[in-house]
Amino acid sequence: MTEPTPQPAAATPGAPLTEAEDRQWASFAHLGGIIGFLPSLIIWLVFKDRGRFTNTEAKEALNFQLTCLGLYIVINILAAIVGAITFGIGGLLIILVWVVAILSIVLSIMGFLKAKDGIAYRYPFAIRLIK
């Protein structure tokens, strides 16, 4: 009788990431910024102890996305206040939401492209809430 061939062991949940996996998850953390802060948060929470590059890049992406979220909130509050005072004309400040959204998408893609090559990416503006 022949013995069955042994299957390769699956990666254990807490196993360190390989260099390729580390770059992959770090780049996904940046790319997830296109849809908000949750992908970066989830990737950081799951992989922060498994890969050094993923830890730093996911934190950077998360800090940037939280900064953008704060900007969205501030712009909407200001637009509502100025819009009420000026009978709606100040509501044009909502255009700034689109500017922040487009900037967020462009910078997230730039971060993705750098991280997939293993190069650390720093966003031009981000409040570093998570150290």
pLDDT at 115 over 90: yes
Tell me if 121 is assigned to some domain: no
pLDDT digits (tens, 9 = 90+) for 18-71: 888 889 999 999 999 899 899 999 999 998 888 899 999 999 999 999 999 999
Check if the beta carbon of residue 123 is closer than 8 Å to that of residue 111.
yes
Tell me if 1 is assigned to some domain: no
Amino acid at site 106:
V
DSSP string, 18-66: PHHHHHHHHHHHHHGGGT-SHHHHHHHHHHTTT-HHHHHHHHHHHHHHH
Tell me if 7 is assigned to some domain: no
Tell me if 60 is assigned to some domain: yes
Number of domains in the chain: 1
Structural tokens at position 41: 């948060």
Tell me if 32 is assigned to some domain: yes
pLDDT digits (tens, 9 = 90+) for 67-109: 999 999 999 898 888 888 888 777 778 889 999 999 999 999 9
Structural domain harbouring 36: 19-116
**Model pTM?**
0.82
- The whole-angstrom separation of Cα 29 and Cα 62 is 8
Check if the beta carbon of residue 62 is closer than 8 Å to that of residue 40.
yes
